[in-house]
Amino acid sequence: MSTDTDSERRYAGVRAPQPFCLGTNVAENWKLFKQRWNMYALLSRLHTEEPNIQVATFLQYLADDALKVYNGFQFEGNEADRTVQDIINKFDEFAIGEINVTYERFIFNTRNQQEGEPFDKFYSDLQTLVKTCDYCDTCKASLMKDRIVLGIHDSSVRTELLKTRNLTLEKCIDTCKAAESAISQTRVLNPVPETVNKVRSRTDSCAQAHSSNSVARKCKFCGLSHVFARNKCPAVGKVCLKCGERDHFASMCRVKASVNATVKSSNFKKKAVHQVAESEPDAQPHGASSSDEEWVNTLHYMTVKSVKSPKKDVKCCMLIDDNEVIFQIDTGSSVNALPLQYAKNVQKTKRILTTWNNSVQTPVGVCRRSIKNPKNGKKYSVEFVVFEGNLVPLLGLGASKQMDLITVNEDVFERVDNVKVSESDCNSDMLSNTGTDGLGTLPGLQSLSVDPR
């Protein structure tokens, strides 16, 4: 029989497990408690005690809800012959009955390696998740191998694994660890900083100049007196006719110019990609003075027909988190649009989008995502407005130009904001020759073909 001194020495430095509570996830809580209990029983050498002492010790680490479950168990034999293992077996049966195998398999088969996550951590989580999937022992290794191939973050490593014939789980693990080690060593030997070009939003422009001071004063950007809030300035988003810069009127321009000088688009100052505002001046709707209103040609949702898009559509492939996403280049859009499935950290916004037919679209919010052009390897940090549903992703005029996807030859035309054509102007030339009944006539002999049906 062990003495008090032996007992104190045995339990010194051994941390007892937290009491087992059923909680909302019985199976997971039981697995963790069982793991901690086995370690505690081993370190404290509890197996050297009498069986009734072991049982009493185990029961004192059951919370009230777990103890009630224990009291409802039916055991064979006398209570005096009961062991800790008998109790553990009963709780195993109880907890396993609470496991949703379909859900556990879903969690396992959707577990992917996250960016920057060590492979050992990824593999360790897979080992834990597969235990509750109720797969047969003969197929667990094959399923683990497939999950690693499909879930590995580095696409180049995945390609290497797919090229390997007769790939086993051991070869798969060795290949992934070797690739991770090689990348780490390369970064140490050749530290090359990665450059991400930022596509800045129009809302970043003059943000500091237009403070939220509630006192009305004369604005140095528009020349009017108003509260110093950005959305109160009518010059925001407008193009100066003197220097070609944005966010101020020509009357407040500080650049000296001759009286008869004509500003053409070819004189617009060219800026580096990371310093150009996202929206273009000619993409702003006529009369809009609020930074909350944006312009877009059209928004449509992907269907079977739209996947096979007409050849007149200009689309490009970009990478978001190494996933290929097909964007439509919309030169009539002042913003970039993204479906909610590709968005992260969505922020609320007051922006509204007006389409070509003046219909209003309200987005879920805005977010900033890093996208990569697989053609040249360049990365861009782009601000998107986010919509629900299977929306076709859009890259607006500003972002498309800054990413060198399109080129506007501004030296061959004069840039204008908007063109207004009245109804009378449209009809004056066409209906210049009117008959006695007031209808217009067209010159010469005209021929019309009709369907005899």
For the segment 18-64, what is each residue's pLDDT rounded down to a tens digit? 899 988 888 888 888 988 999 898 888 888 899 899 999 999 999 99
Q: Select the more confidently predicted residue: 263 or 223.
A: 223
| Per-residue confidence (pLDDT) for residue 303, from 0 to 100 | 46
Contact 199, 403 (CB under 8 A): yes
Q: Do 51 and 125 lie in a common domain?
A: no
What does the block give as tokens for 190?
């050749």
Q: Do 59 and 162 lie in a common domain?
A: no
Single residue among 189, 208, 223 that ends a domain in this structure: 189
**Amino acid in position 239:** V
76: Cα within 13 Å, side-chain hemisphere:
2
Single residue among 96, 123, 145 that ends a domain in this structure: 96
Q: For residues 175 and 324, what is the distance between their CA atoms, to the nearest angstrom?
A: 25
Query: How many CB atoms lie under 10 A from the CB of residue 202?
Result: 24
The CATH number assigned to the domain holding 323 equals 2.40.70.10
Q: Hey, which residues does 366 pair with through a beta bridge?
A: 347, 385
Q: Could you give the number of structural domains in the chain?
A: 3
250 falls within a domain: no
268 falls within a domain: no
Q: For residues 153 and 150, what is the distance between their CA atoms, to the nearest angstrom?
A: 9
Q: What does pTM read for this prediction?
A: 0.33
Q: For residues 205 and 195, what is the distance between their CA atoms, to the nearest angstrom?
A: 22
Is the four-CA dihedral 179, 182, 188, 192 of positive or negative sign? Answer: negative
251 falls within a domain: no
434 falls within a domain: no
Range in 66-75, 98-107, 240-249, 425-434 with the lowest mean pLDDT:
425-434
Q: Do 168 and 134 lie in a common domain?
A: yes
Q: Do 297 and 385 lie in a common domain?
A: yes
Q: Do 41 and 150 lie in a common domain?
A: no
436 falls within a domain: no
Q: Do 306 and 338 lie in a common domain?
A: yes
Q: For residues 35 and 15, what is the distance between their CA atoms, to the nearest angstrom?
A: 13
Contact 279, 396 (CB under 8 A): yes
- Give residue for tokens 């080992």: 127
Q: For residues 291 and 237, what is the distance between their CA atoms, to the nearest angstrom?
A: 7
The CATH number assigned to the domain holding 127 equals 1.10.1200.30
Res 276 pLDDT > 60: no
Q: Do 80 and 59 lie in a common domain?
A: yes
What does the block give as tokens for 383?
């601000």
Length of the chain (residues): 453
Segment 72-87, tens digit of pLDDT: 988 888 888 889 999 9
**Residue 141 lies in domain:** 101-189
Q: Do 14 and 118 lie in a common domain?
A: no
Q: Do 408 and 297 lie in a common domain?
A: yes
Q: For residues 13 and 107, what is the distance between their CA atoms, to the nearest angstrom?
A: 37
Contact 374, 318 (CB under 8 A): yes
| Per-residue confidence (pLDDT) for residue 155, from 0 to 100 | 92
